[in-house]
Structure 1
């Protein structure tokens, strides 16, 4: 009888855990805390915080927010709560005030570094993580961003959207995946073939969670484009990709980690060039061919 009671208790506990895991998150509370709606991909809710307040130039190119100034936070349901990952774009003077607020809110700092070189003013990137009640974490993110000049009121996209003065069909064919226009920038997300996990949770879909290679083209006239983004690499891929990029006139601007305990261990390689868009796409494809990335 005692064994039967133990079995019943165990079954009820398992059912309770399953119910907690499947519990619906009140996304309206998260939206309200962050002051904007999410872009939803699968079960991931991603919130953008572009630094539209900044006027940043690099090698004479006025950088659009979607090219390299697009901060974001993504929420993925996990064990009845949520896991968050994100990347906040900050000025140097904003780093420590924002970090302090994140720590007070119980969130983790997983990296602080540059993505670009020679940008004026210089921008820095603070990667964050956490696990817990999504509405509380959203409030902590909002409080932290309030310590910077990051716009906290979502602005309406321009109508009509800025034109992409590039042969995007040819870029799609070369890169091997379909790109999309965003704020005057043509963007690609190239997933890795093998799964990536963090804290025991598989990071799917990879793009919204920051574990797909990001490639951005901003037209600069006469078929040219400024490109930046980051390759998502395992250790054995790092130097072959550096070599492929440099051989094709693409500058490597940073190499570092974004997370703390992901599997497999990943490295993020940022890049920059401003040249003929098709030529640069071919150079990027040569680098992608050194990685375990998908290609349609």
Structure 2
């Protein structure tokens, strides 16, 4: 317990052999549908540790403002944690709050240090008290003029063009209830490009196996592409 306190910088709570550290988001003034919320009402970051030595497991849920998501995900992935979900819990929340689920196995020291660094990333962003209202990227032209050919050469697929925008769709396969499903049933990865060659925006959706998620997240974060959600669309697929 003492080791985890020293490494995370937080006072732990111990119950049934599980050690929990919590960080209420007291510095953020959060409202939901106009009602001021207390951290007790679900706005507290936490991580729990079970096991000891090199057989320790951590799981956690980090409560984040939108501008904290990319730096915290980068810190978590860069320090050996897995990011297993990213989603919202509320509607009409101001500022918009996202919840990032993390997990990992290894030594107590490595996991506690990784959690500490993820939480440090929050504090670094919050040197500016008010959450940002945008990613802060360049202005995107109102009229798009994206040329599909260079993108087709890079992505190795044929793009669909519309009004100066270009979209790429890559089919994946899965099975559900004994039926094979593909792109026509929504099992696909896609990316849509708009703007100009010099000032473009991309949005998309990656269909992944569990074993692919962490590698894809690292690639996106490494390319300075913001990850805005991680979730499943189906159940009982194989």
**TM-score if structure 2 supplies the norm length?**
0.51
Structural mapping, 1:138-177, within 5 Å: 138-149=112-123
2:33 matched residue in structure 1: 59
**Does 2:24 match 1:46?**
no
Residue in 1 that maps onto 2:76: 102
CA displacement at 1:151 relative to structure 2: 11
> CA offsets per residue over residues 100-124 of structure 1, 9 Å max, x none?
1111111100000000110000100
The aligned counterpart of 1:163 is none
Shift of 1:81: 2.0
In the TM superposition, residue 33 of structure 1 has moved relative to its aligned partner by 1.2
The structure-2 alpha-carbon separation of the partners of 1:37 and 1:150, relative to structure 1 and needing over 3 Å to count, comes to: farther
Q: Within 5 A, what are the aligned runs for 1:122-133?
A: 122-133=96-107
Distance in 1 between residues matched to 2:23 and 2:124, nearest whole Å? 7
Do residues 31 (structure 1) and 5 (structure 2) align? yes
1:142-184: CA deviations, max 9, x gaps? 11111113899xxxxxxxxxxxxxxxxxxxxxxxxxxxxxxxx
3-state SS in 1 of match to 2:94: coil
In 2, Cα distance between equivalents of 1:49 and 1:123: 15
CA distance in 2, matches of 1:111, 1:136: 21
Which residue does the alignment assign to 1:291? none
CA RMSD of aligned residues (A): 2.3
Output aligned runs, 1:242-253, within 5 Å. Answer: none
Do the aligned partners of 1:52 and 1:151 also contact (CA within 8 Å) in 2? no
Q: How does 1:137-216 map to 2 (within 5 A)?
A: 137-149=111-123
- The 1:71–1:143 alpha-carbon spacing in structure 2 relative to 1, beyond 3 Å, is same
Aligned residues: 129
Long gaps (5+) in structure 2: 127-230
Report the counterpart of residue 93 of structure 2 in structure 1. Answer: 119
Q: 1:136 aligns with which of 102, 110, 118?
A: 110
Query: 2:55 matched to 1:84?
Result: no
Deviation at 1:88, TM superposition (A): 0.2
Instruction: Assess if the C-alpha contact under 8 Å between 1:50 and 1:71 holds in 2.
Output: yes
Deviations 1:245-288 (A, max 9, x none): xxxxxxxxxxx67xxxxxxx9xxxxxxxxxxxxxxxxxxxxxxx
Post-superposition offset of 1:34? 1.1
Whole-angstrom distance in 2 between the partners of 1:80 and 1:93: 33
Distance 1:148 1:118 in 2: 22
Unaligned runs of 5+ in 1: 1-26, 153-255, 258-264, 266-296
1:75, 1:41 → 2: CA distance? 11
Contact 1:48 1:70 in 2 (8 A): yes
For 1:146, what is the secondary structure of its paired residue? Answer: helix
Q: CA contact under 8 A between 2:68 and 2:125: conserved in structure 1?
A: no
